[in-house]
Structure 1
Amino acid sequence: MKDFINFLYKNHSLAYKLILFISTTFLIVYLFPKSGKFKYNFEKGKPWQSENLYAPFDFAIKKTDEEIQSEKKEIKDNAILYFNLEPKIKDQVIADYNSEFKLELPDSLVKKDKEKLFALGLNIIDHIYNYGVLSEDFDFSNDRKVVLLEGRTEKQTIKFSDLIKQGEIKNKINNTLNNENLSQYSTPYISLFFDIVEPNLEYDKGITEKALQSDLDKVAYTRGSVERETLIISKGEVVEGSKYQILKSLESEYESQVWTKSNYNWILFAYTLLVSLALLMLLLFLRKYRFDIFENNTKVTFIFFNVFLMVLITTLVVNYNSQYIYVVPICILPLVLKAFFDARLGMFTHVITVLLLGSIVSNSYEYMFLQIIAGIVTILTVSELYKRANLFISVGQITLIYIIAYFAFFVIHEGSVETLKWETFGMFVLCGLATLFVQPLIYAYEKLFGLVSDVSLLELSDTNTKLLKELSNKAPGTFHHSLNVANLAEASANEIGANAMLVRVGALYHDIGKMMNPTYFTENQSTGINPHDELSSKESAKIIIDHVINGIEIAKKNNLPDRVIDFIRTHHGTSTVYYFYKKEKDFDSTVDKNLFTYPGPKPFSKETAILMMCDSVEAASKSLKEPTSIKIDNFVENIINKQMVDEQFLNANITFKEIQSIKKVLKHKLANIYHLRIEYPE
């Protein structure tokens, strides 16, 4: 057990990557659809490109959504209405009529007319209560069937037009009186009926809706079926009409059928294999071509997190509404990775992510083609992300490529532009606008993962920052030296294709530790007094060496990024404070050289190696007396060759050819600083 714990401790970095790999794989697989996927692509009105297709199993032919909605609408429009009938109300109205008739109509009324009016009233009551009087006005169609319920028992079925609305009673009375030439009695007669008539029909919404739902539940979602081994479509046959609907039914059956536990597990296993292969390729790429990133667990976590984030956002959009798929700004991924790392890693990760997304989206070939092309354009066009204009121009170019590629695919599929979906172009514009969110996202990532982008480097390169202002006040000579080194390092980095912005910032801050004891460094000794004269060689060497440690402490206190602190750590590597070492050795031959040696580490990148060369050359160049081109050439060669002999660049991924190029730049720059002309032969 102890050996196993020791093994894990020694290989904790690889163990972390394994856990990260497995967890990311399962999280992505969890987001994937857990159903079968139809392996054929087809378009309505286009020829069937694959081989003859036979039904792999029995399946039903599904109706289209339009057909189903039409059937449901028809059922709703013709659904039976249910009304509760109260039979006692009619008897009560007749009784009230008998008692109120004599009171409402005058005694002076002619007996014959009075008898006639009384009989007419009974006929009117009998007519309006033949089926019933509605309690309120309803906006139903007159042809709708109505079932009258008496005590929850069906009494009779009629049309809605047979029912009497309360507003119709007045017209019915007037028409009856006009027909009998008794219109002069309309006012008291109508007043009489309005006092006694009561509605006896109440709409039963609960029973009506329950019956409607029962009818809707009976709607068939399929029409007919296809038996196994039946020829569905032949190669070259046009996909249209019933053929198209049968293919859509088969596709739907593949994607939505209830899988057995065995099938479900196989699908999960297959998805896990595909996702793990894709992520494994990403890890192997990092290990082979970006080993420094592979060794840094934070950076590997950052890359995997961004891949998962893109899959998550795309899945959420697809589940909400797949037509918005092109609004997702996938090109943010290569932008972010290029900002923190490099273009090659950004492009490789983008392609891996798009391949994973191909299993989520519909019409995957078109989607992957558009996203990969857009990713390539992103990598090619976006440079110097810290310049706002560059980002806007690049986003415009990315949006244009999206539109052109989509237009081409649409014409290929449809054969014309008449049915072009202009709203999709609007989605590409929204995608472009969403891509601009990369700036605040980069800032958030810098804080969360401790990474450094060119935007932060640009801010740090400003000589008006608090730390650099403090350096210029406390150690003006060191500040001037740092500026010269920054110019030399930037030119050298540009010559060999290194990160010029990073090395410039590193050069500006590499000597901030000298602020602790500025007068112990010659560039700050303006009075001609050298405090080292009163110290031993060991004490002097300790003060000189400690400026590296002090610089690291100051940098951390001021929250400088680790990538910048690396320049402070490595700009002297494991070199020796030779002047004081030689002075002490002349006094004591048994002196310990380690007391006069910088703690290191040695430079481990092109940028840190460039700073070591430029720092040494610039500092030593102050000792040149009557410099000439030949002197400068020999001077640069001697300093850098000595560093190579001391194996200071052993851990840096820099070649001899690149070192020669840096020497050439330094010679040229120093010649310009000292205003030297070319020495012509006599």
Structure 2
Amino acid sequence: MRQRAQKIFDKLGYRKIMLVAILLTGLILYAALVESVQGNTYDINLFQLSSETIRSEKTVEDPIKTELEKQRLAEEVAPSYQFIDEIAANQVALIESLFGYILDAKAAPENDKEQRSPDAMISHLREDLRLMETSENGLRLTDDMLRSLLALPDDSLLTVQQQLEALMETYLSEPVRTEEVARIRTEIEQDIRRNEQFPDNVVQAAVTIGRFGIIPNELVNEELTASQVEQVRNSVEPTRILQGQVLVQEGQVVDREVYRQLELAGMTEEQLDYKPLLGLFIFVLVAMGLLLAVMSRSKTESERKKTTELLVVAAVIGISLALMKLLYAVGGNFDFVIAFIFPTALAGMIVRLLAGERAAVYVTILISAAAGIMLQSSYSASLQIDVALYILFGGLAAIYLIEQDGGRGRLLQISLAVALVNMLFVAIYLLIGQTQYSWSEIGFYFTAALVSGLLSGALAIGLLPFFESAFGLLSTMRLIELSNPNHPLLKKILMETPGTYHHSLMVANLADASCEAIGANGLLARVGCYYHDIGKTKQPQFFIENQVNIGNPHDRLPPEKSRDIILAHGFQGAQMLKKHKMPQEIVDVAAQHHGTSLLKFFYYKAKENNPDLEEASFRYRGPKPQTKEIAIICIADSLEAAVRSMKEPTSEKIKKLVDAIVEDKLKDGQFEECDISLKELKTVKAVMCETLNGIFHSRIEYPKETN
């Protein structure tokens, strides 16, 4: 399976695989969340009974009701009036003109009998009064009224004029509105009839003139009124259909108004709102872009491992979304926010252990945002911020509590800590919220927080082996388990090759310290050292560290036979580790820790008998070290054996030996296929010298006690 995956990787390349993985992850995320953002639609027909109670899933404006409310308030606005004091003077001027026309008609020459006849004067007067008669009020003086006015002496006519003008000024000095005109005209008529200054024969004419003179002098200011109406209309708050508002009760007839409101809320099957879909697309686009950036900046240098980490992240996101879907499906059957049972730290734990802290933090943020969208408890398709924060806090707590040397037992302890963080958040949620909760609800939420934490650890422990097996990853927990002395293979090395076991421990100390100094994986190097010489258990007596109280069997064998036995231990060890399904990284240490080094002792011994002997036949089959860790193990393995054989090792001797071994391997090209630098090799040499000096330090000779 892994070989097939490796072929696919080699064929497509790192970038294509990463882009495909990002694309598939984005599609999965979009498909999982699309139902949550779309909202519900209903098969509703006019004038039929509703099969269920339907509530609005969002708040929308009702434009028709808003307009009706604006019209109602606009109609209630009182008109703004403006008093025009010039109207009184204008009306007085009209009366003055009227009597001027009468006087003009009376002023016809005395010898002109035709012009001074009453009919002629009335006719002439009609011509002058035509504009007044056709005006808006319309002065309606009959011929009899005109005849009575023409019959008055000039001084009496002047008195009538003055009385009418005085009354006009009196009544029009106060505001008169249109609706008050009839009342004021009645009052002025009564005043005229009571006034003795008016001769009886002209009272009716005076009344008609008086009523004609009364017009509105306080008029509506159309511009100001329109401005006030507009202001009132603009001040009207839009009428809204509120989120959660019941639009139709179960069994209620769906009339036109109900159907219109359902359409406004976008809840009929004929409607499809593309805005949430576009918003979700942008969310997924941004999320996947950030994921690509996070994974591209991973500290992992191997492109293959970067791809593997991305696949792990994608799988964790998929599993988390599947759990959310399950909670989403059953959430409607509960009165509580069932989302609090979601294992908040599951994604963070797995990604932290298998892909690093940076990726784990981002995945936790992404999962919390996705949960906020999917695990809503309200009627609207919006972000549920309390659920998002709940998962975010729990996930981050787990990420920053996990340590490199944490095992499965430690993971359970972290689960309890996550449960505590969850319960603290639940306390915040219950205290900040304005809702009153019953004791049963409070108990449920705290229990859900505890279950969430414990479930996170349990699922992480259960899923980690599957991830390690499926993706060929070696987690910190797995390495710690492999370092347990009770492991069957380690017990086999200890029981059958105790010298090799001690040698492995010494090499492990050297390699671990050196790897940590240059930022490589010290734990991987240590555990790899424990198993690197397991091939020696096939024929332990042929390796010098196991030759206790026995002769060296190589003394009795030809160098070619000894060569075959020694060179085989790396390959045989790798085969044994594969048989026991050990991680590939550990198998690689066994196969590569000698690289293609030359077995010098037996080569030169064999060359004494055959000068034409080919050097390649006495080299390990390799391959050469492919990683920094194995390169360091290669140095530490040779160095430990060499220092152990030294007599009276000193700091200077150790330093020269370290320099010689590293120089020899460099010249032999053993580090050509890994990315260890000369600067890092310099650091490695310094650390190994320091470590060996600590092991082989000179002991102080204490004076003997005297009696």
TM-score, normalization by structure 2: 0.59
| Equivalent position amino acid for 1:486 in 2 | A
Residues 1:474 and 2:488 are matched in the alignment: no
Residues 1:397 and 2:417 are matched in the alignment: yes
Does structure 2 retain, via aligned residues, the 8 Å contact 1:36–1:254?
no
Residues 1:327 and 2:347 are matched in the alignment: no
Does structure 1 retain, via aligned residues, the 8 Å contact 2:62–2:239?
no
Please name the residue that 1:246 is paired with: 242
| Equivalent position amino acid for 1:432 in 2 | G
Does structure 2 retain, via aligned residues, the 8 Å contact 1:35–1:259?
no
- Which one of the candidate residues 344, 347, 353 is aligned to 2:367? 353
Please name the residue that 2:146 is paired with: none
Q: 1:582 to 1:271 in 2, by over 3 A?
A: farther
- Kindly state the Cα deviation for residue 647 of structure 1 after the two structures are TM-superposed: 4.8
- The within-5 A match list for 1:69-468 is 226-227=62-63, 230=66, 246-248=242-244, 257-258=267-268, 271=280, 274-275=283-284, 277-279=286-288, 281-289=290-298, 290-292=300-302, 294-295=304-305, 300-321=310-331, 323-362=337-376, 363-383=383-403, 386-387=406-407, 390-405=410-425, 407-408=427-428, 414=434, 422=442, 423-437=444-458, 438-468=460-490
Q: 1:359 to 1:574 in 2, by over 3 A?
A: farther
Does structure 2 retain, via aligned residues, the 8 Å contact 1:310–1:330?
no
Q: 1:261 to 1:606 in 2, by over 3 A?
A: farther
Q: 1:395 to 1:558 in 2, by over 3 A?
A: closer
Does structure 1 retain, via aligned residues, the 8 Å contact 2:540–2:546?
yes
Q: 1:641 to 1:225 in 2, by over 3 A?
A: closer
- Kindly state the Cα deviation for residue 507 of structure 1 after the two structures are TM-superposed: 0.8
- Kindly state the Cα deviation for residue 31 of structure 1 after the two structures are TM-superposed: 1.8
Inter-partner Cα distance in structure 2 for 1:288 and 1:218: 52
Please name the residue that 2:632 is paired with: 610
Does structure 2 retain, via aligned residues, the 8 Å contact 1:286–1:294?
no
- Kindly state the Cα deviation for residue 548 of structure 1 after the two structures are TM-superposed: 1.2
| Equivalent position amino acid for 1:375 in 2 | G
Inter-partner Cα distance in structure 2 for 1:224 and 1:389: 53
Residues 1:626 and 2:677 are matched in the alignment: no
| Equivalent position amino acid for 2:364 in 1 | H
Q: 1:221 to 1:9 in 2, by over 3 A?
A: closer
Greater shift, 473-482 or 396-405, is seen at 396-405
Inter-partner Cα distance in structure 2 for 1:314 and 1:258: 27
Greater shift, 530-539 or 413-422, is seen at 413-422
Does structure 1 retain, via aligned residues, the 8 Å contact 2:30–2:284?
yes
- Kindly state the Cα deviation for residue 313 of structure 1 after the two structures are TM-superposed: 0.8
| Equivalent position amino acid for 1:398 in 2 | V
Greater shift, 410-419 or 294-303, is seen at 410-419
Q: 1:432 to 1:220 in 2, by over 3 A?
A: closer
Inter-partner Cα distance in structure 2 for 1:354 and 1:218: 33
- Kindly state the Cα deviation for residue 417 of structure 1 after the two structures are TM-superposed: 11
Unaligned runs of 5+ in 1: 1-6, 39-58, 61-213, 233-240
- The within-5 A match list for 1:12-23 is 12=12, 20-23=21-24
Which protein has the larger Cα radius of gyration, Structure 1 or Structure 2? Answer: 2
Inter-partner Cα distance in structure 2 for 1:340 and 1:513: 29
- The within-5 A match list for 1:638-657 is 638-652=660-674, 654=676
- The within-5 A match list for 1:578-593 is 578-584=600-606, 591-593=613-615
Inter-partner Cα distance in structure 2 for 1:221 and 1:669: 73
Greater shift, 531-540 or 569-578, is seen at 531-540
Inter-partner Cα distance in structure 2 for 1:218 and 1:608: 68
- Kindly state the Cα deviation for residue 553 of structure 1 after the two structures are TM-superposed: 1.0
Question: Tell me, what secondary structure is at the counterpart of 2:403?
Answer: coil
Does structure 2 retain, via aligned residues, the 8 Å contact 1:573–1:603?
yes
Q: 1:279 to 1:668 in 2, by over 3 A?
A: same
Does structure 2 retain, via aligned residues, the 8 Å contact 1:481–1:618?
yes
Q: 1:389 to 1:513 in 2, by over 3 A?
A: closer
Inter-partner Cα distance in structure 2 for 1:432 and 1:18: 34
TM-score, normalization by structure 1: 0.61
- Kindly state the Cα deviation for residue 462 of structure 1 after the two structures are TM-superposed: 2.7
| Equivalent position amino acid for 2:242 in 1 | I
Does structure 1 retain, via aligned residues, the 8 Å contact 2:60–2:241?
no
Please name the residue that 2:619 is paired with: 597
Inter-partner Cα distance in structure 2 for 1:523 and 1:221: 81
Inter-partner Cα distance in structure 1 for 2:283 and 2:49: 46
Structure 1, residues 68-98: CA drift from partner, whole Å, max 9, x if none? Answer: xxxxxxxxxxxxxxxxxxxxxxxxxxxxxxx
- Kindly state the Cα deviation for residue 308 of structure 1 after the two structures are TM-superposed: 0.5
Q: 1:341 to 1:254 in 2, by over 3 A?
A: farther
Greater shift, 501-510 or 538-547, is seen at 538-547
Please name the residue that 1:557 is paired with: 579
Q: CA RMSD in A?
A: 4.4
Greater shift, 554-563 or 413-422, is seen at 413-422
Q: 1:268 to 1:644 in 2, by over 3 A?
A: farther
Inter-partner Cα distance in structure 2 for 1:220 and 1:352: 32
Inter-partner Cα distance in structure 2 for 1:560 and 1:255: 60
Q: How many residues align?
A: 491
Structure 1, residues 633-662: CA drift from partner, whole Å, max 9, x if none? Answer: 222232234334545445545555554444
Question: Tell me, what secondary structure is at the counterpart of 1:32?
Answer: helix
Does structure 2 retain, via aligned residues, the 8 Å contact 1:542–1:595?
no
Please name the residue that 1:158 is paired with: none
Residues 1:11 and 2:21 are matched in the alignment: no
Structure 1, residues 550-601: CA drift from partner, whole Å, max 9, x if none? Answer: 1111111222221211211221223322333444556666543332333333
Inter-partner Cα distance in structure 1 for 2:563 and 2:64: 90
Please name the residue that 2:27 is paired with: 26
Inter-partner Cα distance in structure 2 for 1:404 and 1:500: 37
Does structure 2 retain, via aligned residues, the 8 Å contact 1:403–1:428?
yes
Does structure 2 retain, via aligned residues, the 8 Å contact 1:329–1:431?
yes
Does structure 2 retain, via aligned residues, the 8 Å contact 1:474–1:518?
yes
- Kindly state the Cα deviation for residue 309 of structure 1 after the two structures are TM-superposed: 0.6
| Equivalent position amino acid for 1:672 in 2 | G
Question: Tell me, what secondary structure is at the counterpart of 1:376?
Answer: helix
| Equivalent position amino acid for 2:11 in 1 | N
Greater shift, 506-515 or 214-223, is seen at 214-223
| Equivalent position amino acid for 1:305 in 2 | A
Q: 1:326 to 1:280 in 2, by over 3 A?
A: same
- Kindly state the Cα deviation for residue 614 of structure 1 after the two structures are TM-superposed: 1.9
Q: 1:375 to 1:652 in 2, by over 3 A?
A: farther
Please name the residue that 1:522 is paired with: 544
Structure 1, residues 258-279: CA drift from partner, whole Å, max 9, x if none? Answer: 5769856x86576456435534
Please name the residue that 2:142 is paired with: none
Q: 1:248 to 1:320 in 2, by over 3 A?
A: same
Structure 1, residues 26-64: CA drift from partner, whole Å, max 9, x if none? Answer: 3332222347569xxxxxxxxxxxxxxxxxxxx99xxxx
Does structure 2 retain, via aligned residues, the 8 Å contact 1:385–1:455?
yes
Please name the residue that 1:125 is paired with: none
Question: Tell me, what secondary structure is at the counterpart of 1:315?
Answer: helix
Inter-partner Cα distance in structure 1 for 2:612 and 2:384: 74
